[in-house]
Amino acid sequence: MISYSLWLDNISYLIDSLLSFKIDPESLSSWNKTRKEEKSKHLVKIEEETKRLKEEFSKYNDILLLDVTDTYRNLPKKMLLFYQW
């Protein structure tokens, strides 16, 4: 069992750590720029993949593309769209 004084010491250390935490604006700006670049690269990859899938679909007609977010909750909707196809 943890003693009360040790618990207070841990809490005070945690509070001191949180209060002394500082964010450098320069590093935050750099991180934000990198994040935007990564996002744009990712969006380009998604567009390329979507284009290839549509080409595959038009060529072989063997892919079913649905405008549904792939989650467990959307399974009934996906099944209904599949049967409509």
| Residue range(s) defining the domain that contains residue 42 | 4-84
What's the pTM value of the predicted model, to 2 decimals?
0.51
The pLDDT profile of the chain, 85 residues, written as one tens digit per residue, is 556 676 777 777 777 777 777 777 787 788 888 899 999 999 999 999 989 988 998 999 888 878 888 899 999 998 998 888 7
Cβ partners under 8 Å of residue 64, min gap 6: 82, 85
Domain count, the chain: 1
Cβ–Cβ under 8 Å, residues 38 and 30: no
Would you mind telling me the total number of residues written for the chain in this entry? Answer: 85
CA atoms within 13 Å, Cβ hemisphere of 26: 0
Compute the distance between CA of residue 2 and CA of residue 7 in angstroms, rounded to an integer.
7
